[in-house]
Chain A
Amino acid sequence: DGGITQSPKYLFRKEGQNVTLSCEQNLNHDAMYWYRQDPGQGLRLIYYSQIVNDFQKGDIAEGYSVSREKKESFPLTVTSAQKNPTAFYLCASSISRGRETQYFGPGTRLLVL
């Protein structure tokens, strides 16, 4: 089946710890995105990547980092610099950074212990 997978479904972070959220797609899409969703709000863009080894900051990139070493994979690291990481994180992809629609994975819920 073609689609976007995210893991884990739930993730717990301790104070001062870095954690990494996985996003994989087998749709052969060039562009991938990370969004953060807080209660009662729409999605906010953290990072996006148009091609392998290239990525750009979104509106709320501080405290986050990404890599894009493979077309299929776009992991997001939530660093200790992110002081309020509790949120729902959604990964998306699109054919290119053009007119195409973005399709979403099932999301990861990050909680702070």
Chain B
Amino acid sequence: AQTVTQSQPEMSVQEAETVTLSCTYDTSESDYYLFWYKQPPSRQMILVIRQEAYKQQNATENRFSVNFQKAAKSFSLKISDSQLGDAAMYFCAYRANSNYQLIWGAGTKLIIKP
């Protein structure tokens, strides 16, 4: 069975510093997508970044970047220059190309200290 694990229930970082959120997954598929979603206090789920497994280059979106290690089945999210607005729950999700279903981790609560 495919699973997604986020081992850090909560992380905190000083404003303007860098923080890395961890995610590991288990799959026997070779073609899949990985996602990081952000859920602020409003509770709307917002896509942060996505990575195609067939691409070796790590995805980046402004201050957000990933470290995708396919062999280790690891997909961490790095947030640079943390801002107060980054405070939220962050969810890692996986989807095989052969399937419609997103498999979700339990989430990491990110606290930004001013």
Are the CB atoms of B107 and A90 closer together than 8 Å? no
- The stretch that binds B, out of A19-27, A63-71, A99-107, is A99-107
Most buried by A among B43, B100, B106: B100
Contact between A43 and B100 (Cβ–Cβ < 8 Å)? no
Contact: B101 with A42, CB < 8 Å?
no
A50 to chain B: which residues have CB within 8 Å? 100
- Chain B interface size band reads 20 to 34
Q: How far is the CB of B1 from chain A (nearest CB, A)?
A: 11
Q: Is A31 an interface residue (CB 8 A)?
A: yes
Contacting residues of chain A (72-91) with chain B, CB-CB under 8 angstroms: 88, 90
Partner of B106, one of A40, A88, A102: A40
User: Which residues of chain B are within 8 angstroms of A103 by Cβ–Cβ distance?
Assistant: 47
Q: Tell me if A11 is interfacial: C-beta within 8 Å of chain B.
A: no
Cβ contact of A106, chosen from B43, B93, B105, cutoff 8 A: B43
A97 close to B (CB within 8 Å)? yes
Which residues of A sit under 8 angstroms from B4, Cβ to Cβ?
42
Complex contact A45–B42 (CB within 8 A): no
Contacts A41-B106, A101-B35 given; does A58 touch B44 at CB 8 Å: no
Q: Does A48 contact B (CB under 8 A)?
A: yes
B68 within 8 A of A: no
A42 to chain B: closest residue by CB: B104
Report the Cα distance A78→B66, complex, angstroms. Answer: 38
| Residue among A90, A97, A103, A104 with most chain B CB within 10 A | A104
User: Residues of A contacting B106 with CB < 8 Å?
Assistant: 40-42
A90 and B42 alpha carbons, distance in the complex (Å): 12
Task: Find A48's partner among B45, B46, B97, B100 (CB 8 Å cutoff).
Answer: B100
Residue of A nearest to B37 (CB): A104
Complex Cα distance, B42 from A23, in Å, reads 17
CA–CA, A97 to B35, complex, Å?
16
State whether A42 touches B33 (Cβ < 8 A). no
CB-defined contacts of B45 to chain A, threshold 8 Å: 43, 90, 92, 104, 107
CA distance A21 to B39 in the complex (A): 20
